[in-house]
Amino acid sequence: MLKPLDPLLHSELRLAVVSILIGVEEADFVYIRTETGATAGNLSVQIDKLQKAGYIEVEKGFKGKMPRTACRITAKGREAFKEYVETLREYIKM
């Protein structure tokens, strides 16, 4: 019997956000929005869902006078991503 895929990561945009964050120390909102092509509103909602699940940390601040939102993946997020990828590999082997 196959393990179910994590529904939180099975969303295309949330998976894209986590995939970006896996490879960097942190990424700001503008960078993530540019890389994913998402609208600011949709990205905000998806980042909030990932943060509430404990998959990412969000830090709001300023760079000079400009607001800046930085995102980092957590240990829980890394583990969830690892399990998601392993489960996908199992699906592919079938």
Quick check: is 6 in a domain? no
In whole numbers, what is the pLDDT of the chain averaged over residues? 95
Q: Note the pLDDT of residue 59.
A: 96
Read off the pLDDT of residues 9-48 as tens digits, 9 standing for 90 and up.
999 999 999 999 999 999 999 999 999 999 999 999 999 9
Residue 5 lies in a domain: no
* Domain count of the fold of the chain: 1
In a domain, 1, yes or no: no
Is 2 within the bounds of a domain? no
Q: Does a structural domain hold residue 3?
A: no
Separation between Cα atoms, residue 9 and residue 14, nearest integer Å: 6
Torsion sign, CA atoms 48, 14, 27, 30:
negative
Q: Is residue 73 part of a domain?
A: yes
Residues 45-90 have pLDDT tens digits of 999 999 999 999 999 988 888 889 999 999 999 999 999 999 999 9
For residue 87, the domain's CATH number is 1.10.10.10
Domain membership of residue 54 as a residue range: 12-93
What does pTM read for this prediction?
A: 0.91
Q: Are 8 and 55 in contact (CB under 8 A)?
A: yes
